[in-house]
A and B are shown apart, each in its own frame.
Chain A
Amino acid sequence: MAGKLARLAWIALWPVALAAQDPRLGRVDPSVRDSVAALADSARVEGLPANALIEKALEGTSKQARGPVILAAVRALAAELRSARSALGSSSTTAEVAAGAAALHSGARPTDLADLRLRRPAQSLLVPLGVLSDLVARGVPPDSASHAVLALASRAADEDYLAFRREVERDIALGAPPAAAAAVRLNASARQALTAHGQKP
């Protein structure tokens, strides 16, 4: 009886499975393909950017990584996407969730993401989250990078964030320690903001 029910369920759900299959997964190592597909399906059901998981698997495939390594990376990304969505809120866009996952991967904490959302409730967080990840990737300690991005959140436009990142990168390229570069540029930004409001720094 159970076998018959399972067969009936399979027949009934076959078109769904067929519709959900992503042809790009045909490139992925057969030993982990089904697991990656299952993770992507779960993400899709949860409203997470499943495409990011498929792209991660394809990256590993193109780089000729072994199946278990690919699967571990996809699993880790799925957890980060879930955590980012939880921290940023259900109204966040898929681009924000993906950027949030990258920030978590770089060392930011979920509370940093939640704080950023609180401080910029109606604005896109794509650029601030991207700058956060980039600063960490340039060597700025995650705590310092998060502090800088959160400190700018209430007054900075996307252009200000990008300018801040450029200046920090330039200072690092000139030999400044990454944490010091971020702190100095953050102070300079605060002074500029005070001056713009007619206050003495």
Chain B
Amino acid sequence: MSEHDRDLPDLIDRVARTLREPVATDGALDARIMARVLAAPAPAAGGAWWRWLRRPALSPLGAIGLAAILAGVLLAPRVRRTPAARPTLSEVQFVFVAPRASSVSVVGDFNDWNLAATPLARAGAAGVWSVSVPLEPGRYTYAFVVDGRRWAADPDAPRAAGDDFGTPNSVVLVRGAS
């Protein structure tokens, strides 16, 4: 072991003691630092996005996803983005006579042929059922359903031509379409 090697621990101890001693600083240092910080321009919000937009980088999967989103936005039905003026609605009253029925509903092009959508209400003691439905101008095909299972055309309305599914339909013409 050389003399240099023997003095090494003492040297380390002295350096350590020196480093542990508190550093005397200028009392105005904090104020100067804060002044510089406040003077510096604030980073823009969304800096990461801005950097990405200036130098975009996409993984192949990300590019496909972005293309898919753009395609969906651009090619989706334009009706949703340019709503047309809604035509005037006309109240159409549907009436059906069924003295022994416990329920009557009207189904047709205007309610997706949904048996539960438009029930008729009793309009009197004589078995008269009725309901009023607001409809846009057009030609609608419809039928009545009695007690949830018996289909019947409207005896007071024109019949629809043809009978695609085995039960007749009626037609109502709502005027006003241009």
Contact = CB atoms under 8 A, between A and B. Distances in A.
A55 B68 contact: no
Chain B contact residues: helix, strand, loop or mixed? loop
A102 B160 contact: yes
A127 B175 contact: yes
Given A8-B64, A14-B68, A63-B151, 9 more contacts: A12-B71, A60-B165, A63-B166, A65-B165, A73-B165, A96-B177, A102-B171, A133-B139, A137-B158
13 contacts: A12-B67, A15-B72, A19-B76, A59-B141, A59-B165, A60-B164, A70-B165, A73-B165, A95-B177, A98-B138, A105-B162, A127-B173, A129-B139
Contact of B175 (A55, A76, A158): A158
Interface string A115-156: 000000000101101110110111000000000000000000
Given A55-B109, A95-B139, A98-B138, A15 B68 contact: yes
B59 to A, nearest CB: 14
Contact of B161 (A44, A65, A102): A102
A107 B161 contact: yes
Contacts of A126: 137-139, 173, 175, 177
Interface of B: 64-65, 67-69, 71-73, 75-77, 107, 109, 112-115, 137-139, 141, 151, 158-162, 164-167, 169, 171, 173, 175, 177-178
